[in-house]
Structures are given as C-alpha cells and as structure tokens.
Amino acid sequence: MKANENYIDVYKKELSEEDKDAMVDVLKGHFYEILKEMKFDVDTDQQIQDTPRRIAKMWVKELCQGCYDPPPKITVFENTNNYDQMIFLGPIEVKSLCSHHFQNFIGKAYIAYIPDQKIIGISKLARIVKWFMRRPQIQEELTKQITSYIEEKLCPQGCAVYIEATHLCMVARGVEENQNALMKTSDLRGCFKDAEVKSEFLSMIK
C-alpha cells in the first residue's frame, strides 16, 4: 500500500457472489496450468484432480475474502452515561496473509479504546478485525488499518491495537524458525500515548 493511499480504497473491489464464482472459474484454469507446469499429475491423480478448483475457491472466498466483501455494518451508540474508562477486547483470532510470499500469519489481536461521544458493540470490534485480516498485507499495515477504522468510526479519546502472530513464511521456508517465534506490532493513538494509559493497556494483554 502506498503511503498516500486510503487504507480502505486500496481494497475496494466489492464483488457479488456471482462475480466471485466467475473469478474462481478463471483462476481454476490458471492453477491447473501452474500445477501441470510443476509436473504434477492433475489429470489422473485423484488426490490432486480437483485441487485447482479448491485453491481458487480458497483464495477468493476465504483468504482474500476481505478484498471483495463490503465493510462490516457497525452499530454505534451514543455514550449517554459519559463512560470515560478503557474498553478492552481480546484476544481476537487473527488469520491473515503475508503479501510478500502469500503465506499465512496466525495469531491474536487486542483492541482498546477510551470513548468520547460514541461507543460500539463489542462484537463489531471482532468483525472489524476479521474484515481487515482477510487480505494480503504485512502485519504492520493490518495493525494500523484496524486502528484507523476504529478512530474514524468512533472519534474516541484514544485507541490502541496490539497484534502478535506466527508467520508461516518464516516457519515453513527461509530461515525455518520455530513456530514459537512471534512478531509483535502495536499502534497507539490519542491518550494511549500517555505512559499511564499505555501501561494499563499492556497489563490487560498480559
């Protein structure tokens, strides 16, 4: 993603289910040719005959689902009781796709915000994570996208996102590091840059 591009517009490629099915059909042919070129017996090996379709469906309707689905519907409420303390949710499961090698990274996200005039249904925070995670990206981008979206929708006093994940591009290839190696990223905004608020957020994660 270029620094000057909007974090949503870059991925605004909403498709209908019919469009997705058509894309799967096209990609199925390409994956067939790729596997043939790699000398796999795609025509007679029963374990691999249907693999081009399975791969295409997985990429379009699962791993990159967030590229083609509309943003989640966000229910925002007025903060009628003037609640001004931290709201925290986590761990939220993260299963995303590294844009460098198209390998998964899998882990947990933690979200917190201190409201101003608006609050949000907590299930919607998990939906935001799920929508953003289903696309190719690096973990740093995913962390900032989630924070930006919450900030845009709620205009809170501050918000924070912390993600820790295992990257299969490092576990299954390259240095082949053990699966316990975690990459950790955070994005702290507004009052969460204050040392005391930051410390409270990190203590909740622990």
DSSP result, 33-93: HHHHHTT--TTT-TTTTTHHHHHHHHIIIIITHHHHSPPPP--EEE-TT---S-EEEEEEE
Domain that holds residue 39: 11-68
Q: Give yes or no for a cis peptide into 136 (omega within 30° of 0).
A: no
pLDDT category of residue 12 using cuts at 50, 70 and 90: low
Query: How many domains is the chain built from?
Result: 2
| 150 touches 159 (CB < 8 A) | yes
Query: 89 with 169, same domain?
Result: yes
Structural contact between residues 64 and 134, judged by C-beta atoms closer than 8 angstroms: yes
CA separation for the pair 47, 41 (Å, rounded) = 10
Residues 62 and 80 occupy one common structural domain: no
Residue 89 gets which letter from DSSP?
E
pLDDT for the residue numbered 5: 45
| Same domain membership, residue 145 and residue 106 | yes
Choose one of 19, 49, 68: the last residue of a domain.
Answer: 68
Whether 51 and 91 share a structural domain:
no
Residues 80 and 164 in one domain: yes
Query: What pLDDT, on a 0 to 100 scale, did the predictor assign at position 74?
Result: 87
- Report yes or no on 136 lying in a domain: yes
**pLDDT tens digit sequence for 18-75:** 999 999 999 999 999 999 999 999 999 999 999 999 999 999 999 999 999 998 888 8
- In this structure, the answer to whether residues 184 and 89 fall within a common structural domain is yes
- pLDDT band per the 50, 70, 90 thresholds, residue 2: very low
- The model's pTM: 0.88
What does the pLDDT look like over 142-194, one tens digit per residue?
999 999 999 999 999 999 999 999 999 888 776 766 667 899 999 999 999 99
Please report, as a single letter, which amino acid is at residue 200: E
Using the 3D structure, point to which of 21, 40, 68 is the last residue of a domain: 68
Residue 8: which of 147, 124, 127, 149 has the closest Cα?
A: 149
Specify the DSSP element, H or E, that contains 17.
helix 17-37
